Structure 1
Amino acid sequence: MLCSTLMLTALVTAGVYGRPSLPPLPVKDGCHQVSPEVEMFRVEGEAIILHFPIFTRVLEVRRIALPTAKYLITRNNGTESEAYWSEGRVQQQVNQLWFLPARPSDSGEYSCTYRNDTYCVTGRIVLHVYQSDSVDLNSLSYPWSATEGERVEFNCPSLSCFNKTDGLIEWFKDSDSTPLQPDRGVLMIPAVRRSHAGVYTCRLTVLINKQHYQVSRVFLLHVQGTDPAFSTSVPEVSTTPEADLHSRTMSTVNVGPPVIVYPVNGTIFESPHGSGLELVCHVLTECQMADLTLITWLVNSQSLESSYLNRRALQGGRRVTRLSKGCQIEMRLVISLITEEDEKAEIKCVTKNKMGSQEAVVILQLEDSTFTWLFVAVTTVSCFLTVVSVFLYLLFKPKRKKKMDYFLARQNSTFSF
C-alpha cells in the first residue's frame, strides 16, 4: 500500500512538473472566468466589431471545444443582461458583436459566454463610444513619441476583423480635410521633424451586409528634439463641443524621464512547459506626461508582431493609476503557451516620452524537470526492491513443524450441577 502511494505521488509530481497542465480558470456563478479584454474606445456613427481576442486565445490554447456548445454575447446592465440576435443594428455573429453603426448608448460592459449543458467559460470587455463632438482624444488615440530625424511608420490598427480588401485607407493630419498621400495603408515619415507633430487619422470605408460604413483610428504624434533637456510644448486637446478637436495650447513642463519600477532588469522568469505566462510592466511618470508615454514589449529586440511569439502572445491592457507621487502606467504581455522555443528568450519592456527612455530585460527559462524524473526513478526502484525483498522473504522463510495438541477427556466422568 505504501509503495502504491509513493508511486502515485511520483507520477502525479511528474505530471505537474514535467509536462504540467494549465492552471485552472477561476469560477464565478458556476462559469469559468477569463481575464478581461483591453478596453475599446470608438466614435459614434462608425461600424464597430466587438471581439474577444484573449477569450478566443484561451479557448484555443486549452482546446475547449464542447459538443453542442454555443456562443452567447450579452450586455451587463446591473442585475440584468441583454442578449442579441443575428440581425438588426446590433447583431451577434458567432463570437463577435457588430454595431452597424455604433451609438453612444452602446457604451457598457459586454460578456461572451461559450457553454453547453455541463460547462461554460466567459470573458468580458468594456466598450466606450464617444459622441463625435465630445471626443476624449487621450483615450481614443494611440500615443506615439518620436525623436527628430527618426523614421516613423503608422499602420492603421485594429482592422483585422473588417473586410478591407477593396477599401482604400486615407490619412489626414489635424483638421485638414485633404488626405495625405497613402502608401498601401502605411503612413511613413522618413525623417520626422517637430512640424510633423499632431493628430493623424486613418479612415477606411468597409462593406458589411452590402452596406458601406466608415471606420477610423487616431494617432497622437509627439516629436522631441535631439536635446532631451530642451523644454517643449505639450498639446492639450479640448473636449468641449464648441472647441476645435485639434486646437492646442502651449504649456512648458520640466519633468524627468519615465522609470520602469517592475520588472527589474535582468530578472529570470521560470515557467513550466505547457503553461501560460502574463508579464506586466509598471512605469512611473509625471501625470501630465502619462498620455505621451509609450510602453511596448519587444521579443529578442523585435516587435511582437514581427517576432516568433506573434501567434502565441498578446500585448495590451494599458492602465493608468494616479499615485501620491506621479502616475503609474501598466502594460500587459500575455503568452498563452510556453514551449521549448521560449527557452532563453529575451523579453524587453521599453518606455519613452519626450524626456527620455528606459528599458528592462527579462529572460524566459523553462523549469528543469531533471530532479522530478530522478525522484520518480528513485521511488520506482525503491518500490521494486521492496516488492522483491518481500517475495524472497516469503519464498525462503524456514518452515516450522506443526505441533498436534491433544485433549484427553476422562471417560465415564460424572458432571454434577
Structure 2
Amino acid sequence: MVLLALVLAAVIVEYVSGRPPLPPLPMKDGCYVVSPEVEIFRVEGEAIILSFPMFLRVLQIRKIAPPAAKYLISKGDNGTEGAAYEGDGHVQQHDKQLWFLPAQASDSGEYVCTYRNETYCVTGSITLHVYESSSVDLKKLSYPIPATVGQRLRLPCPSLDDFNSTDRLIEWYKDSSSTALRLGTEGSLQRDGGKVLIPAVKRSHAGLYICRLRVLINSQQYKVSRAIRLRVHGPDPAITTTVPDLSTTSDPEISSSHSTVRAPIIQPPVIVSPLNRTIFESSHGSELELFCKVLTECRTADSTLVTWLVDGHPVESSHRDVRALQGGSSVTEVSEGCQIELRLIVGEMTEEDVKTELRCVARNQGGEEEVFVQLQLEDPTFTWLVVAVVAVSCFMTVVSIFLYVLFKPKRKRKMDYILARQNSTF
C-alpha cells in the first residue's frame, strides 16, 4: 500500500508539473536502442569524422549519465572490432567520434556507438558509405540546394563542423572543371567567407559545385571535399521554333508556309502528403519521422527536386541541423506516374522544436509547390488525468480491502450440542 501511495504521489506531481516522463526506448540484447542516424556518403582518400548527433541528443534530453560509463564505437553488431580503434591505425576513436585518416572503401559499413557501464547500456548506429574515387558519381554524394531565378543565395560547404575551424582555405569548382572558380568581390560569383555568394541567381548558375579544403589533424594535412547540386527554377519562356513546311514544295528556300513546333509541356510536381498546414503531434522527448511524398511524371522524376527546409534554410545548412536530419529520397512508380519520397527525422521533441517552421518544397521546370508543416507537443493533461483517476481508484480499492479485512466482524464459534433422549427415564 505504501508503494502504491508513492506511485500515486509521483503521478500527481507529474500531472501538476505538466511535463510527462519521456517514453521508454526500445531494448535489444539488454541495451536501449536509439533510432539510426542519417546515412553518410563520402569518397576514399579523404579525412572523415563520424559522429552521432541524434544519439548524443537523446543522451542530453534524457539526461543519461550513468557513473563510470564510456563510449565504445564498433563496426557491426558484435562489437569485436571496437578495440582496434583505440590504436594508431587509420581508424581511431576519439571520445564520441570515429576518425578515418584517411578513409578507405573497405571502411564502408554500419557503426554502433555504445554508452555503457556495468548496469546500464544505450546504443546508436550510423551507416557509412565510402566510394572509390575512380568510380564515384559525385551527383549521388551531393547535397541538393534549390534556388529561384533572381534569388540572392549563399552556397555553404556543408558538414564541416567536426573539423578544426583553423586552416580552412576552401576552393570551389564547378561541374567537371579542374580550375578553381575565381571568386572576387564583384561579378556573378563572389566569396563570402568560406561560402559562394550569388547576388542574383541565373539559370546558368545551376550545376554541381565542389568545395575542397585541407584540414590539419594531428599535425598532418588531409583532404576534405563536399559536393553541392544547385537546381535553379523559374519561369521558362515558351520555346518556339519556325521550320519550313515541305508539304507544298521540296525547296525550303521558296516555301512560303511555316509550322510552329512547341516544346512538350512539363507538368509541375504535386505534393500528395503531407497536406498544407498539417499539424504533427508528438510527446515530449519522442522522435518524429516525417515523409514528403511528391507525384510527378516519370520522365521528369530525375530532374524534380524535393527538399525539406528548416526555418527557410536547407537542413544541411540550418542552425537546427542537430535536431533535424534529412534522409535520402526514393522514387517509386505508381499508377499516376512516379512518386518521390523524402524522409525528415526530427530529434527528441522539445518546446523549442514547436517554434521551428518546416516546409517541403518540390520543383521542376514545370513549376513548384510547397507545403507548411507545424509541430506540436501533445497535451498531457487528459492522459495524466486518466492516469491519476485510475491510480486513485486503485488506491481506494486497496484501502477498502484493507479496512474490510481489519474491521470484518468475527464469526461466532459454533456451540456444541448434545442430543438428549426424550423419554421419562433419562
- Identify if the C-alpha distance between structure 1 residues 293 and 51 changes in structure 2 by more than 3 Å, giving closer, same or farther: farther
Q: Where does residue 53 of structure 2 map in the other structure?
A: 53
The answer to whether the Cα contact below 8 Å between 1:146 and 1:192 also exists between their aligned partners in 2 is: yes
Report the Cα distance in structure 2 between the residues aligned to 1:202 and 1:375, rounded to whole angstroms: 56
* Matched residue type, 1:140: L
Structure 2 residue aligned with 1:176, among 157, 175, 178? 178
Distance 1:364-1:131 versus aligned 2 partners, 3 A rule: closer
**2: CA distance, partners of 1:96 / 1:269:** 33
Q: Does 1:154 align with 2:155?
A: yes
In 1, are the aligned partners of 2:159 and 2:316 still within 8 Å (CA)? no
The separation in 2 between residues aligned to 1:254 and 1:131, in whole angstroms, is 40
Match of residue 349 from structure 2: 337
- Output the CA distance in 1 between the equivalents of 2:355 and 2:51: 33
- Do the aligned residues in 2 keep the contact of 1:86 with 1:93 (CA within 8 Å)? no
Of residues 29-38 and 309-318 in structure 1, the stretch that sits farther from structure 2 once superposed is 309-318
Q: What corresponds to 1:106 in structure 2?
A: 107
Mean Cα displacement is larger for which, 204-213 or 52-61? Answer: 52-61
Residue type at the aligned position of 1:310? R
In the other structure, the counterpart of 1:191 is: 200
Instruction: Please name the residue that 2:289 is paired with.
Output: 278
- Give me the whole-angstrom Cα distance separating, in 1, the residues matched to 2:315 and 2:79: 39
Q: Do the aligned partners of 1:298 and 1:348 also contact (CA within 8 Å) in 2?
A: yes
Whole-angstrom CA distance in 2 between matches of 1:384 and 1:21: 21
Q: Does residue 277 of structure 2 align to residue 266 of structure 1? A: yes
Measured after TM superposition, the shift of residue 42 of structure 1 is 1.0
* Structure 2 equivalent of residue 219 of structure 1: 228
Distance 2:77 2:378 in 1: 44
Shift of 1:47: 0.7
2:376 aligned residue (347, 361, 365): 365
CA contact (8 A) 2:14 2:20 kept: yes
Please give the alpha-carbon distance, in whole angstroms, between the structure 2 residues aligned to 1:118 and 1:385: 36
- Cα offsets for 1:33-59 (capped at 9, x unmatched): 111111111111111111111111111
Matches within 5 A, 1:5-404: 12=11, 15=14, 18-76=18-76, 81=81, 83-174=84-175, 175-181=177-183, 182-227=191-236, 255-286=266-297, 289-299=300-310, 310=320, 313-324=323-334, 325-339=337-351, 346-371=357-382
Q: CA deviation at 1:120?
A: 1.4
CA separation of 1:266/1:198 partners in 2, compared to 1, >3 Å: closer, same or farther? closer
Classify the secondary structure of the residue corresponding to 2:86: coil
Is the 1:61–1:337 contact (alpha carbons within 8 Å) kept by the matching residues of 2?
A: no
Contact 1:173 1:199 in 2 (8 A): yes
Corresponding residue for residue 237 of structure 1: none
CA apart distance, 1:133: 1.7
Structure 1 runs not aligned, ≥5 long: 232-251, 390-404, 408-415
Partners of 1:29 and 1:84 lie apart in 2 by 23
Question: In structure 2, what residue type is equivalent to 1:177?
Answer: T
Cα distance in 2, alignment partners of residues 385 and 85 from structure 1 = 58
Distance in structure 2 (CA, Å) of the matches to 1:189 and 1:214: 26
**TM-score, normalised to structure 2's length?**
0.74
Corresponding residue for 2:406? Answer: none
The count of corresponding residues between Structure 1 and Structure 2 is 385
Identity percentage of aligned residues: 56
Alpha-carbon distance between aligned partners in 2 of 1:68 and 1:371, rounded to the nearest angstrom:
39
Letter in structure 1 aligned against 2:231: H
What SS does structure 2 have at the residue aligned with 1:20?
coil
Say if 2:20 and 2:380, in contact at 8 Å, map to a contact too.
no
Instruction: Tell me, in whole angstroms, the C-alpha distance in 1 between the residues paired with 2:207 and 2:90.
Output: 34
Name the residue aligned to 1:400.
none
In structure 2, do the counterparts of structure 1 residues 372 and 198 end up closer, same or farther at CA, with 3 Å as the change threshold? closer
Q: Give the match's secondary structure for 1:171.
A: strand
Range with greater deviation from structure 2 (256-265 or 94-103): 256-265
Q: Structure 1 residues 343 and 203, CA, compared in 2 at 3 Å: closer, same or farther?
A: closer
SS for the counterpart of 2:172 is: strand
Give the corresponding residue for 2:412: none
Displacement of 1:147 after TM fit? 2.9
Q: CA deviation digits over 1:104-143, x for unaligned, max 9?
A: 1211221111111222111111111112221122321122
Distance 1:63 1:14, change over 3 A: same
How far has the Cα of 1:311 moved from its partner? 7.3
Query: Cα distance, 1:101 vs. partner?
Result: 0.9
Is the contact made by 2:358 and 2:374 (CA closer than 8 Å) also made in structure 1? yes
Of 75-84 and 193-202, the range deviating more from structure 2? 75-84
The 3 A distance-change label for structure 1 pair 99 and 225 is same
**Whole-Å separation in 1 of the counterparts to 2:306 and 2:146:** 10
CA apart distance, 1:368: 3.4
> Which range is displaced more, 327-336 or 214-223?
327-336
CA contact (8 A) 1:267 1:363 kept: yes
The aligned amino acid for 2:178 is D
TM-score normalised per structure 1? 0.75
Seen in structure 2, the aligned counterparts of structure 1 residues 373 and 172 have a Cα distance that, compared at 3 Å, is closer
Is the Cα–Cα contact under 8 Å of residues 229 and 355 in structure 1 kept in the other structure?
A: no
Task: Name the CA distance, whole Å, in 1 between partners of 2:146 and 2:80.
Answer: 43
